[in-house]
Amino acid sequence: MQETDQSVDFTVAAKLGLNQEEFDKICSVLGREPNFTELSVYSVMWSEHCSYKNSIKYLKTLPRDGGRLLVAAGEENAGLMDIGDGIACAFKIESHNHPSAIEPYQGAATGVGGIHRDIFTMGARPIAALNSLRFGDPNVPHMRHLIKGVVSGIGDYGNCLGVPTVGGEVYFDPCYQQNILVNAMSVGIVKIGETISACADGPGNPVFIVGSATGRDGIHGATFASADLTENSAEDLPAVQVGDPFQEKLLLEATLEIIKTGAVVGMQDMGAAGITCSTSEMSAKSGTGMRINLDLVPTRQQHMHAWEILLSESQERMLVVVHKGREKEIQAIFDKWDLECSQIGEVTDTGRLEYYRYGQKIADVPAESLVLGGGAPVYDRAYARPAYMDEIRPFTPVAPADADLTDIAKKIITSPNIASKRWIYEQYDHTVRTGNTNTNDPADATIVRLKGTDKALAVTVDCNSAYVHADPYTGAMIAVSEAARNIRCSGGIPLGVTNCLNFGNPYNPEVYYQFVHAIKGMGEACRKYETPVTGGNVSFYNQSVLRDRTEPVFPTPTIGMVGLVESRDHATTLSFKSSDDHILLLGHLPQNAHGSVYLREIVGQRLTPCPDFNLGEEYLLHEAITQLIHQHSVSSVHDVSEGGVLITLLESAMAGGKGFEIQLPAGIRKDIFLFSESQGRVVITVRPDQLAETEGWLSKQDIPFLRLGQVTSSGIRVDDLDFGDTSSWAYRYQNALSDILEQ
């Protein structure tokens, strides 16, 4: 047979997502016009999803080294932090938004599979998964379909793979009605010095493709992820990959086994852009090239075109470079695990990627010209302050201060954004590999034990996109700060950040303004907390393209953060413990309810400023929390976030099966005090015998605090108002979301 190639001009290039400038640059690099296969290779590697061409300039401004970081951002498939005892933690978060909006089950499932592969490709064993999910109105039948599909896809893949889903967040807002967001994070453990790099050193070394056979699923997935979702996007279903978690489990074990042999030079997961991406990035990193025979690639369908094989994003596949002469060792291990293992080429010293089909060279391109940080384009887009920001006004209270607080609280605690996400997380197996999981007693971050040590990891994902929408700079700082605060409240010390940056179309100046200022805010906060950004993912083009308008999603820079709990006795939960404990609120009293669920959903004021926030004060509070925990001065710790102080207290009471009585301070509206989401505040409980000492210590540290009241055995009272018993609040909280989703 002979591979036929269609003629190429700019019209063809445009259909593949390339502009005139990019097409001309390709011709210049090659010294000729590309053929269709070569043009297809450039189109995926220069897509937004692979090249970060509209974001890399600003991503480079983030703190990328320092602390316990073992590899700088972008060096490997995931970040790597030293956690002591000769152990490193590998972690990363990525998006799978567009595929999940089109085919929710497979879109979410393959997102989980892909992020886990990034972890074990480095030689780390995944021990925990988290996710950040954004949906539209759950009362709409189609949205319930998407929610159920995404949750099932995450749960089924993770459960079958044997990696527990231990934490996450879920938000609902109309801005995500057409374009949902599905961000998946994986955390793994590896011994220092036993990691594998994504490199292709050593000309003459053989190149293997291992795992599943290659099919037509996921072709042009990277391009699909770099375009707007429209009402016709369902036609792009072939761009959605199909996952097999059982195959991935075999691949995981085989991968970790071959690493132990010492026969592996380098390895990379085949994610976006498939063979094209793996061969180009590994070659460019090592300054080498590859000669690849596509006839040797195991395929699911007959007579696949060369460009289909190169661009396929079929799941559960890896590219492995092996030391020459040790091919049989690798082959034997994959045979044992009943997985495909085929030598498809070799490393060269040419710096070029040469692809062959039916004995003919069908593509020949410089590896460096394809990749991020090499020849891929870099743009600096124009940006302009969004017009809607001029409509943001401070909240001027009109309701009486003695409004029905009980009724307001009932509405807030049953809001989908506040109510328990039990219906979702109960579909995840969070007990598999129980040697690494903690108790069910909740904390602000999830605690993951490290077998064989007295240490644990504290892991979390956080972002309130409504805050970022109101003020991208401050909102992004708050996202980082909340993640750090959650880790501190759980007894950990923040180590590093991975981010998933979800925004609209970067060619929209207002969207690009959101992106640029969010990066600036994120960078400032990360530098303050000494949490380098280890890597992550940029996802543009998240917006609804309707007949009469285009509506970007709220800017959503999701923060995945890992912290270290040096001793397990530092692990701290949020549940009230004893009925005689005193309740203290740390931080300044709120002056407004800006950005709160109360204003958006109860008052109906959607556009308000960000909640009050001060980075310096926040940092001092974090340090104080850690000291209090290390001094064993607190029985419980819970930060004040969405819903305000009252929701914080209710969550702690429900978790501990207790009640509380509090007295509100004079001189402040009750609704603002109870429901404000002003930042830098934490609720702690203290035993009676430690109250005086703790308050004295807080005063010396210049940490503002207020003695609110006491934990009780049952029942809830706010001033002279009887809010009923804890169990009735728990019933509302636990069932509100399931009542909606099970309609």
b/e per residue 208-232 (b: at least 16 CB within 10 A): bbbbbbbbbbbbbbbbbbbbbbbee
Instruction: For residue 303, indicate whether it is catalytic.
Output: no
**133, 96, 59, 60: which is closest to 465 by C-alpha?**
133
Residue 353: which region, alpha, beta or left (left: phi > 0; alpha: psi -120 to 50)?
beta
3-state secondary structure of 284: helix
Separation between Cα atoms, residue 124 and residue 188, nearest integer Å: 5
Could you give the dihedral angle defined by the CA atoms of residues 489, 490, 495 and 500, in that order, rounded to the nearest 10 degrees?
-90
**731, 451, 520, 205: which is closest to 512 by C-alpha?**
520
Catalytic residue chosen out of the listed positions 49, 98, 517, 570: 49
Strand ranges, E, within 136-280 = 165-172, 181-191, 206-211, 264-269
Separation between Cα atoms, residue 113 and residue 246, nearest integer Å: 11
Q: Which residues pair with 711 in a beta bridge?
A: 660
DSSP 578: -
Q: How far is CA 728 from the centre of its chain?
A: 34
Separation between Cα atoms, residue 195 and residue 705, nearest integer Å: 46
| Token pair recorded at residue 155 | 């749960």
b/e per residue 386-401 (b: at least 16 CB within 10 A): beebeebeebeeeeee
Instruction: For residue 632, indicate whether it is catalytic.
Output: no
Catalytic residue chosen out of the listed positions 96, 305, 570, 588: 96
Query: 36-45 and 274-286 helices cross at what angle (nearest 10)?
Result: 70
CA 165, 51, 479, 610 torsion-angle sign: negative
3-state secondary structure of 590: coil
Cβ atoms 333, 258 nearer than 8 A: yes
* Catalytic site positions: 49, 96
